[in-house]
């Protein structure tokens, strides 16, 4: 086996064995305007969570900071990262590239952090293939009307973009069937509590706790 092949097989090993890593890989999707950012901002007050900063080719919105909200890249820079196999997944959404830089995710999982990927559904389904032990959470608005209203109130998009995003949202919501958990964001505190409950319950599943069973048997 040449070194290149060995590197490849080690990588597959890492991705398929998320279950064995100390932290949880949590994939969160929601149509734009569902309040996912607000929910995650509350969740991330807990130091054990790590938010994976994505790369994108879209322009920064007012107030967004490079390296904090996203790594803002040119199309060429983004494609270079893909070619170097630096992305765990990537997708094209509303005409721009979005992707998850691979290294930070596995470094943080190894440290024992619960890593949150806030990504759209195409990317989430790629993670499902590569990392079947990740946890998939979909956040829903109470209705499509509420979603449109929230986007209009946010005021960061033109009416054309809002139409496009609401249209895409309907298609995305249908994909929620492929996720493990649904959280309806009607009330922020409830949604945050639901998210934390999902993480807590996941950590108690037998597939993630077999070591605990063995430890108790050997005490």
Region near ligand 5GP per CB under 6 A, out of 114-122, 132-140, 188-196, 210-218: 114-122
What is the token pair recorded at 164?
A: 């496009």
Q: How far is the CB of 69 from ligand 5GP (least distance, A)?
A: 8
Binding flag, residue 185, ligand 5GP (CB under 6 A): no
> Helix, strand, coil shares of the chain as percentages rounded to 5?
50, 20, 30
- Select the residue interacting with ligand 5GP from 21, 32, 57, 185 (CB under 6 A): 32
Binding flag, residue 141, ligand 5GP (CB under 6 A): no
- Select the residue interacting with ligand 5GP from 26, 100, 137, 195 (CB under 6 A): 100
Euclidean distance between CA atoms 142 and 47, whole angstroms: 29
24 vs 151, beta carbon nearer ligand 5GP: 151
Q: How far is the CB of 151 from ligand 5GP (least distance, A)?
A: 10
Euclidean distance between CA atoms 99 and 88, whole angstroms: 7
Evaluate whether 158 touches 115 at the Cβ level (below 8 Å): no
* Contact map string, positions 39 to 58, toward ligand 5GP, x by CB under 6 A: ---------------x---x
Region near ligand 5GP per CB under 6 A, out of 40-48, 71-79, 89-97, 186-194: 89-97
Euclidean distance between CA atoms 40 and 35, whole angstroms: 9
122 vs 146, beta carbon nearer ligand 5GP: 122
63 vs 218, beta carbon nearer ligand 5GP: 63
Q: How far is the CB of 194 from ligand 5GP (least distance, A)?
A: 18
- Phi and psi angles of residue 197, each rounded to the nearest 5 degrees, phi first: -65, -40
Provide the residue count of the chain.
219
Euclidean distance between CA atoms 63 and 75, whole angstroms: 22
Evaluate whether 161 touches 147 at the Cβ level (below 8 Å): no
CA-wise closest residue to 43 among 133, 118, 111, 127: 118
24 vs 40, beta carbon nearer ligand 5GP: 40
The DSSP result for 142-190, as a single string, is: S-HHHHHHHHHHH--S-HHHHHHHHHHHHHHHHGGGGSSEEEE-SSHHH
Binding flag, residue 99, ligand 5GP (CB under 6 A): yes
- Select the residue interacting with ligand 5GP from 49, 98, 106, 179 (CB under 6 A): 98
Euclidean distance between CA atoms 73 and 206, whole angstroms: 41
Q: Which residues bind ligand 5GP (CB under 6 A)?
A: 32, 54, 58, 89, 91, 93, 98-100, 118-120, 122-123
């Amino acid at each position: 086996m040449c070194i290149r092949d060995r590197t490849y097989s080690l990588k597959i090993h890492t991705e398929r064995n998320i279950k064995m890593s100390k932290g949880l890989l949590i994939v969160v999707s929601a149509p734009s305007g569902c309040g996912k950012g607000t929910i995650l901002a509350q969740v991330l007050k807990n130091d054990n969570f790590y938010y994976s900063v994505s790369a994108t080719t879209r322009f920064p919105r007012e107030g967004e900071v490079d390296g904090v909200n996203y790594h803002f890249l040119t199309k060429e820079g983004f494609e270079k990262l893909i070619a170097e196999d630096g992305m765990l997944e990537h997708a094209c959404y509303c005409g721009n590239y979005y992707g998850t830089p691979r290294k930070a995710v596995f470094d943080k999982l190894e440290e024992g952090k619960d890593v949150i990927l806030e990504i759209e559904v195409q990317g989430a389904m790629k993670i499902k293939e590569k990392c079947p032990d990740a946890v998939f959470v979909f956040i829903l608005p109470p209705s499509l009307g509420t979603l449109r209203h929230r986007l209009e109130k946010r005021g960061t998009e033109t009416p054309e973009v809002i139409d496009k995003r609401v249209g895409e949202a309907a298609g995305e919501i249908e994909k929620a069937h492929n996720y493990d958990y649904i959280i309806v964001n009607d009330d922020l505190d409830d949604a945050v509590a639901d998210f934390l409950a999902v993480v807590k319950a996941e950590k108690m599943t037998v597939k993630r706790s077999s070591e605990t069973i063995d430890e108790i048997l050997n005490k």
